[in-house]
Amino acid sequence: MPDGYRELAPPTVLRRALACLWVRVVPPDAAAPVRILPDACSDLIWRSGTGAFVAGPDTGPVIAPATPGSVFVGARFRPGAGGPALAHPLHELRDRRVDIGDLLPALARRLDPELTPAEALRQVALAAAELTETRPPDDLVGAAARRLHDPRARSAAVAVELGVSERHLRRRFHESVGYGPKTLHRVLRFRRFLGRLDAADGDADLAGLAAECGFSDQAHLTRECSRLAGVSPAAIAYERGNSSTTFPVAPRESIS
């Protein structure tokens, strides 16, 4: 299996609940850990030799160890899907990594640490399908999350548009996303910045990107990067442009 990180489009029936399936292979000569940034999602992850765990929604950076030769396989739940699928209030998993045996013991036995990576990917995909079929995503939260992709959106207005109180929407978000609509809006805006940064391919105008992505100014972008990534926008740009400090993302491809 080649080194690096690759995302795979989930089967069509899972695209309402899953953002992607993914595989990460740490090179044999890896030396530096990887900075994982908030993405508004939660993940079911299998690690070779260790077994499965859940990565709850992050509100800040996570520095992941890079044990040479390790293989990770994951299913990434969209906002609104993780809490129902895992049958656990997602706010209790916020900024945490929890052994799957503490949440779903039967699934822990199924995702044996000694599976081959190919079989682990198949089992993770099957498990995600079964979990989301039994407990589907929260449609109200999904509808709100889609509206919050708009940098001009406001959580109070979204609640009114969906016919619920802001308090009710916030409660549903904490259960199925892990935090409230305002935090989701911040994370989605930050992810928009990362996407534009990657598209700039090393030639980024940070002030221009700040305005394009919905930040009030470059200082606002800098504050949010400090809170969500732990470093400045310039440092993020360097990390994402330097293959020795991050894993490149391959184009998504389908998986049957």
Closest by CA to 97, choosing from 53, 48, 37, is 53
- The pLDDT of residue 244: 42
Q: Which long-range contacts (CB under 8 A, 24 or more apart) does 153-156 make?
A: 153/185, 155/180, 155/181, 155/182, 155/185
Q: In what order do the strands lie in the sheet with 71-77?
A: 97-99, 51-55, 42-47, 71-77, 18-25, 4-9, 249-254
Q: Do 6 and 250 contact (CB within 8 A), yes or no? A: yes
- The pLDDT of residue 176: 98
Decide: helix, strand or coil at residue 46. strand
Q: Along the chain (256 residues), what's the average pLDDT of each consecutive run of 10 residues?
A: 84 95 90 87 97 97 88 97 97 98 95 96 97 97 97 96 98 98 98 94 88 96 97 92 46 35
Both tokens assigned to 223? 């504050």
Both tokens assigned to 88? 């656990």
- The pLDDT of residue 4: 87
Q: Do 243 and 3 contact (CB within 8 A), yes or no? A: no
Amino acid, single-letter form, for residue 168: H
The structural domains of the chain, with segments of one domain joined by +, span 4-137+245-254
| DSSP-derived pairing of the beta strands 4-9 and 62-64 | unpaired
- The pLDDT of residue 3: 67
| DSSP-derived pairing of the beta strands 71-77 and 18-25 | antiparallel
Q: Do 14 and 128 contact (CB within 8 A), yes or no? A: yes
- The pLDDT of residue 121: 97
Rounded to an integer, what distance in angstroms lies between the CA atom of residue 229 and that of residue 208?
20
Q: Do 35 and 244 contact (CB within 8 A), yes or no? A: no
- The pLDDT of residue 30: 72
Decide: helix, strand or coil at residue 109. helix
Both tokens assigned to 100? 């799957």
- The pLDDT of residue 85: 97
| DSSP-derived pairing of the beta strands 4-9 and 249-254 | parallel
Both tokens assigned to 112? 């044996």
